[in-house]
Amino acid sequence: MKYANYSLTITRTAIAVALTASYVSMAQAEDVEEILLIKSQQSIPVTTGDSGVLLDNEGVDFYSAGGIAKLPVINGMNGDRVKVLIDGSEITSACANHMNPPLSYMDASRVESIKVIRGITPVSEGGDSIAGTISLKSQSPVYSDSDELLTKGTIGAFYRSNGKHHGEFLNTTISNENLSLNYSGSLDRSATYRDGDGDKVLDTLYRSESHAITLGARGLDQELIIKLTHQEVPYQGFPNQYMDMVGNKSNGVIVNYLRDFSWMKLDALVSWNDVEHEMGFFTHEKTGTMPMETDGRDVGYVIKAEFPLNEQYTLRVGNEYHHFKLDDWWPAVPGSMMMGPDTYVNINNGERDRYALWTESEYRINARWTALAGIRYEHLVTDTDDVQPYNTMPMIMMAPNLDAAAAVAFNARNHKQVDDNFDITLMLRYEPSAEESIEFGYARKNRSPNLYERYSWGESTMAVSMIGWYGDGNGYVGNIDLDPETAHTLSAAYTRRAADDSWEITINPYYTYVDDFIDAQEIGTFHPRMVMSVTRPKLQFTNIDAEFYGLDLQGSRQLWNSSTWGSGLMKGQMAFTRGKRRDGPEDLYHIMPLNVKIALEQAIGQWTNTLELEWADEKDQVDQIRLENDTAKYTLLNAFTEYRWNSTTVNFGVRNLLDESYDLPLGGVSIAQWRDEGMAGQFESLAGPGRSVELGVRYQF
C-alpha cells in the first residue's frame, strides 16, 4: 500500500537529493509498501557525520544543537515526539540537554535507506510518538550469487572550507552465497565555522568516530543479521547550551531474524545499546568547570508477523518491549562551596519500561480504493529512586538552599507513574486514474513524558539551567504529575502528474490537536551565571492543549531533454507550519516560518549540475514564555556539480554562494557568544554558516 504523502523512503541511489531539492513520485511496484521514491540524477552524497544532513529537504526541520546532534522536527513537533528507529531499534537520549539524540548514532556514510512518515503513522511503524517516524537502515548483508567469494566496498573523503570540516569513510564487504561480513567506519571532525560576516560562530567544533560490523547468514527462506556498533565522540561544542559534550562512548548490538513462511512473514529483532556520556567544558571558546555524567542503557525486542490472507487482505500483528535505564549525576567540584562536597544526584536509577501490542489490517477494496486500519495498546511505567543535592547548607548571604528543599519534597513523593495509551490509525487511498491520487486519514497517537520531563527536580539557578534541549537559555524543572500527550491528526494529500511524467504536483494540508501537550509554565526567574543584569524564566514542564496546522506543496517540471543540453528538471517545495497554544501566550516555540526551496538540475553525460535557492520568511510569531528571538528573512544560493567516471565520483559545490549573513530560525540563542562578549546584554540568535566550498571523492571497488 503506497501512502505517498505520509511516508518517504530515500534509497542509496537517491539520498543526495537531500542536498538539493525534493521531487516526489509514486512508487509503481505493487510489492512496495508505504514508499515514496525520490527521483534524482545524483548518487549518494560524499559526507559523514550526523545522518540528519540527509533529511534537510524531506519535510524534516531541526533544532540546532551540536555538529552531529540536531533534534528533528516534523509538522512543528520536536524531539521525542518524533520516533527515530536505527536499524529497527530504539535509542534514547541519555542527557539532560539531549546531546546524544538517536540520529547522532548513525553516521551518514552508513545509511542505505531512510523512511520518513509524517503525521498519520501506521501503528506498525512505532508508538510513543505523535509527530511521525524516521527509520534509518544501514547496509543490509550482500551475498555472492556464485560459488566465488564476493569482495566489494567504497572508500571516500570530503572537505568543506567553512570550519575546515573534513571526514573519511570506508565500507567493505566479503561474502559467499550464504555468509556475509561487512565493516563500515568513519571519522568526522570540524573546527568552529564562520557566519556570512566572517565572524566565528563560537563553540561549533566537534570530532566523531564510528565503527560497525554486520554479519549475515541466510538460508532458503530465512536470514539472521547481527550488527555490532561502536561510536566515540571525544568532544562536541553546543553554542546554545550552558555546557558542552566532553565524552560520549556507545556500544550496541542488534540481532534480527527474518523468516518467510508460505503463509506468514516473521521479523524478530532484539537490541541493546549502552552509552557513557559526560558534559563539561573543553574549549577556550566556552570555559568552565562542572562535570556532569550520565549512563544510559536501551534494551528491547520487536516481533512482527504479516499474514497475506488473500490478494485483497493483509493482516499484521506485533509485540514490543523497550526498557531504558538512566543514571544522571554531577560529581562534586573540588574547592567549590556551591558544587560540593557531595555528588548531585539528578536521576537515580531511572527506568522507563514500555510494553506494546498492535494489530493492523490492509484491505484493497477494489482497483481504486485501498484502506489501512490499526490499533495499538501500550503500557508504560516510569520510576526513579531518591535524589540528593550537592549539600544542605544555606547559600550565600543565608539565602535558602533551593535544591535541598526540592530534594526533600521530591523524595517524599511516590515516583512511580503508569500510563495506558491507545493509538488508532485510519487511512484511505483513492486512485481515480493512473495520473491522480487522493489520500486522507485520521490518527490518534500518544507519547508519555521522558524521564527528564518527569523527574528533573532541582530549582537552583545552576540546576535549572542544566536541564532542557531547547537551546533557549532558560531553566527547566520536571513534573512528576505530567500526563501523556494525545494527538488527533487529520491529513490529506492530492497528487497529480502528467501521463508522460514530465510534471507532478502534490498538495498536503494537515491539522493536529494535542491534548495535554507538554509545554512549560513560568514558576520564577533566575540570573544566568549570576549576571544580575540578565533575567531568564525558570520554567516547569506542564500539560496544555495545543494545535498545529500547515500546508506542504511539492512539485517538479521537466524543462528540456536534448542531446546537446542533456535533461533539465525544475523542482520545488513550500512548507507552512503554525503551532499555537489554546490558552495563554499564543505562539509555540521553534515553529519554522514559511520557507521555499527551488532547484534547477541538469544531467548531461557524466555530469550532474544543480543550482538551488533557499528562502525563509521572517520569524515574528515567537514564544513569549521562552523569550524566543525574532529572526529576519533570508535567501541562500547553493551550487553543486558531480562527475562520474567508471568507479569514481567527484563532487564539488559551494553552499551559501553569496555569503549571506543570517540567523537560524530554529537555532536558539548563542550562549557561547554571550559569554565571549563579557556576559553583557541579552542573548542573540545563533547565526547560520557563511560561504563554504566543498569537495568530495568516492571510489567503489
For residue range 632-641, list pLDDT tens digits in order: 999 999 999 9
Nearest to 477 by CA among 458, 450, 451: 458
Compute CA distances 404 → 83, 293, 460, whole Å: 36, 20, 9
pLDDT at 129 (0 to 100):
97
Averaged over 26-54, what is the pLDDT? 48
Averaged over 620-634, what is the pLDDT? 98
Burial, 110: exposed, middle or buried (Cβ in 10 Å; 0-12, 13-18, 19+)?
buried
What is the per-residue pLDDT across 420-444, written as a single tens digit (0 to 9) for each? 999 999 999 999 999 999 999 999 9
Residue 174, pLDDT > 90, answer yes
pLDDT at 45 (0 to 100):
59
Please report, to the nearest 10 degrees, the dihedral formed by the alpha carbons of residues 189, 191, 195, 196 taken in order: -80
Residue 399, pLDDT > 90, answer no
pLDDT at 49 (0 to 100):
74
Averaged over 497-511, what is the pLDDT? 97
Look up the CATH number of the domain holding residue 192: 2.40.170.20
Q: Which domain holds residue 178?
A: 4-700
394 vs 521: which has the higher pLDDT: 521
pLDDT band at 4 (very low <50, low <70, confident <90, very high): very low
pLDDT band at 584 (very low <50, low <70, confident <90, very high): confident
Residue linked to cell 529483532: 269
pTM exceeds 0.95, yes or no: no
Most distant CA atoms of the chain, gap in Å: 83
Residue linked to cell 498519520: 120
Residue 32, pLDDT > 60, answer no
Residue 41, pLDDT > 60, answer no
Query: Alpha helices, DSSP H only, in 532-676?
Result: 671-676
Residue 85, pLDDT > 60, answer yes
Number of domains, the chain: 1
What is the per-residue pLDDT across 190-240, written as a single tens digit (0 to 9) for each? 999 999 999 999 999 999 999 999 999 999 999 999 999 999 999 999 999
DSSP 327-389: EEEEPPPTT-SSS-SSPEEEEEEEEEEEEEEEEEEEEE-SSSEEEEEEEEEEEEEEE----B-
Residue 29, pLDDT > 70, answer no
Cβ neighbour number for residue 196 with a 10 Å cutoff: 18
Rounded to whole angstroms, how far apart are CA atoms 613 and 576?
17
Nearest to 172 by CA among 150, 144, 149, 153: 153
What is the per-residue pLDDT across 315-361, written as a single tens digit (0 to 9) for each? 999 999 999 999 999 999 998 888 999 999 999 999 999 999 999 99
Percent of the chain with pLDDT over 70: 93
What is the per-residue pLDDT across 653-693, written as a single tens digit (0 to 9) for each? 999 999 999 999 999 999 999 999 999 888 999 999 999 99
Rounded to whole angstroms, how far apart are CA atoms 265 and 690?
50
Quote the strand ranges of 365-470, DSSP E.
369-383, 417-433, 436-447
Averaged over 591-598, what is the pLDDT? 98
pLDDT at 397 (0 to 100):
62
CB of 280 closer than 8 Å to CB of 261 = no
50 vs 574: which has the higher pLDDT: 574
Residue 464, pLDDT > 50, answer yes
Check residue 658 and give left, alpha or beta (phi > 0: left; psi -120 to 50: alpha): alpha
Burial, 151: exposed, middle or buried (Cβ in 10 Å; 0-12, 13-18, 19+)?
exposed
Percent of the chain with pLDDT over 90: 88
Average pLDDT, the chain: 92
Rounded to whole angstroms, how far apart are CA atoms 316 and 314?
7
pLDDT at 433 (0 to 100):
95
